[in-house]
Every structure is written in C-alpha cells, then in structure tokens.
Amino acid sequence: MPEPTGVIHDIGYQRYTGPRLGRRHVFGALYGHGLRTVFGLGRSAKAKIFPWLVVGIVTVVAAGVTAVRSQLGQVVMTYAQFADAMSWLVIFFVAVAAPELVSRDLRSGVLPLYFSRPLPRDDYALAKLLSLVSAIWLLLGGPQLVMFLGAAFTTPDGLRGTWNELLDLLPGLLYAGLWAVVFAAIGLLVASLTGKRAFAAGGIVAVFLMTTPVVGVLSILPSRAVNELAYLASPSTLVGGVGTWALGDLLVPADQGGGIPIGSFGPVYAIVAVLLVSACTALLLLRYRKVAAR
C-alpha cells in the first residue's frame, strides 16, 4: 500500500482568535433563547399569537379583579387563588410552549450541532426546563403584580396597607413558582418524547386533563384516607395540597373553606410533589442521554 499523498491546503480562512466563552455562557444563552422562544420574541407574528393570547387573558382577568376590588372593596380572589383559577390557561400555555422548546429541535435534527459545543447533555435539558419554569412563573406572577399595584395604590391605610399587601403577594409568588416547577417538569418530559409539535401538545393536554376527573372520583370513595389523598392524583390539585399545607391561611382565607381538605397528609403532598418533579427531571435527562447518543 503506497503512502497517502493527500495534503490539507491552507486556503487562507481566518481562525477565530477571540475569547472562547465556557459552559456557563452556553447555558445562559440557551436559557435566554428558550425564554424568548416561549413568548415568540424575535420570531414571526404567527409564533406570538398563542402565547400572547394566554398572557392577554390572564392580564385582563387580573385587571378585572383589581378593578372590582378598588371600586367595590370586595376581594374576589387572593393572589394564590388567582393561580388556581387560571389552571386551564396554564395547561394550554404549557401545551403551546413545551413543544416549541424541545420538539422543534428533535424534529429538525439539530441536536448534534448543539452537543458539538462545550455543552453537556444535561445542561441542554436543564436550560430548557429552567426557561419553561421561568416563563410559567412570569405568566402567573405578572398578573399578580398587576393586582398588587392596583391594591397598593388604592389602599386606604397608606404605607402600612401597602406593606401588608406585599406580605400577601410574596406567598402568592412562591405558590406560582410551585405551579411553574410542577407543570414545566411534566410538560417538558411529555414534549421531549415526540418531535411532532402537534402530538406533543395533544399529549400534554391529555396527561393534565385526564387526571382531574380521577381526583373527582377518588374524593367520593367511601374511605376518608383515600378522600384526603385523592388530590395527589392530579398535578393542579397536588400543587394546591402542598400550598394548603405550607402556606395555610395565606393561601385561602379560613372563611372561604381554607383550601383543599387534605387532613393531616400535608407532608405526604410535599414529598410526592418533590418526588414527582425529580422523577420527571431525571427521566428528561435520561431521555436526552438517549437522544444525544443517536
């Protein structure tokens, strides 16, 4: 066998000599890009329709609630109840956003390009998850801020009233964060299973909607323990259960029934929520190990 005679000619391309940013910057760029993708920023008008439809509806509802409160002095819903009331819209938002974040990359086969950068497999999935969590939190937190501003500027008690209002707002924002983490973890896992945005959206909605009636059935079974544990079956009532246990009266005023009747099973709800989120995240990371290996 003769010696290979081929040579690589230097045809004068310039090499990049500037600073090379590391892993943190890749993660940050991916996170920022994900957050923009969810709201359709930097993309065509068509991509903005559905996310901003949801944002518009929740903002209008918050403005309406604020107006009623400032005019009639009647508190329609607390900050935390606002998140509960918007649960269907949050489901729709996840069904819009999660496929947009992960399914497009799977379908167009650009993952090898991402993973050819100094970007560990897990970072990709975690950055996407983090941007979905932030997006849902902004979706729920923004209107709460509107409600807070409305209440703060119309309060008759001056600065003290504003301070009390702020103390009400913070648990509400915390609760919205809980919603965001649980819904983003489940939604992104379902979306990462398929490259077709249509099927991903259908699957996410099916998973979330299917579980709600299960709670309705379990809570009428003839066993008190089962009734009190029934709310574990659906993500939205699971979040409600954790909120009732952790925030108590801050979540729902006692004169309005005091949240979800979970009995003394509060810690169970918290543990299940943590397990659910970590299991979904672990499965998501596992999924991307497999996808990346292809």
Partner 1 sequence: MSTVSWITARGLFGRRRFLMLLPLPAVLVLLAVLCRSLGVDPGEWASPVLVGLGLAVVLPVVALIVGTGVLGAEIDDGTVVHILTKPLPRWQIVLPKLAVAAGVSAVTVAVPLYVAGVLADSVRLGLALAAASALGALAYSALFLALSLVTRRPVLLGLVYVLIWEGLLGNFVSGTRVLSIQQWVIALADRMAPTALLSTTVSVPVAVVLIALVSVGFTVLAIDRLRSFSVAGETS
| Cα Rg, the chain, nearest whole Å | 23
Residue of 220, 255, 264, 290 that binds partner 1 (CB under 8 A): 220
Question: Rounded distance, CA 202 to CA 197, Å?
Answer: 9
Say whether residue 50 binds partner 1 (CB under 8 A): yes
Over the window 143 to 182, marking each residue x when it contacts partner 1 by CB under 8 A and - when it does not, the resulting string is ----------------------------------------
Say whether residue 113 binds partner 1 (CB under 8 A): no
Say whether residue 59 binds partner 1 (CB under 8 A): no
**Residue number with CB closer to partner 1 (115 or 199):** 199
Q: CB of residue 167 vs partner 1: minimum separation in angstroms?
A: 30
**Residue number with CB closer to partner 1 (47 or 152):** 47
What spatial distance separates the first Cα and last Cα of the chain, rounded to whole Å? 35
Window 185-214: residues binding partner 1 (CB under 8 A): 194, 196-199, 201-203, 205-206, 209-210, 212-214
Asked if 24 contacts 117 with a C-beta cutoff of 8 angstroms, the reply is: no
Say whether residue 227 binds partner 1 (CB under 8 A): no
Residue of 92, 137, 175, 179 that binds partner 1 (CB under 8 A): 92
Say whether residue 221 binds partner 1 (CB under 8 A): yes
251-282 b/e with 16+ CB inside 10 Å = b? bbeeeeeebbebeebbebbbebbeebbeebbe
What tokens appear for 207 in the block? 């998973």
| Residue in the block written with tokens 């009732």 | 244
Residue range at the interface with partner 1 (CB under 8 A); choices 87-95, 126-134, 250-258, 270-278 = 87-95
Residue range at the interface with partner 1 (CB under 8 A); choices 62-70, 88-96, 179-187, 244-252 = 88-96
Query: CB pairs under 8 A, 24+ apart, for 226-235?
Result: 227/261, 228/261, 228/262, 228/263, 228/264, 228/265, 229/262, 229/265, 229/268, 231/260, 231/262, 231/269, 232/268, 232/269, 232/272, 234/208, 235/182, 235/183, 235/186, 235/208, 235/211, 235/276
Window 30-49: residues binding partner 1 (CB under 8 A): 43-44, 46-47
**Which of 229, 237, 188 shows the shortest CA–CA distance to 209?**
237
Residue of 41, 166, 167, 217 that binds partner 1 (CB under 8 A): 217
Q: How many residues bind partner 1 (CB under 8 A)?
A: 33
Q: CB of residue 204 vs partner 1: minimum separation in angstroms?
A: 9
**Residue number with CB closer to partner 1 (162 or 211):** 211
234 CB burial (10 A radius; 0-12, 13-18, 19+): buried
Asked if 284 contacts 193 with a C-beta cutoff of 8 angstroms, the reply is: no
Binding site for partner 1 (CB under 8 A): 43-44, 46-47, 50, 53, 57, 88-89, 91-92, 95-96, 194, 196-199, 201-203, 205-206, 209-210, 212-214, 216-217, 220-222
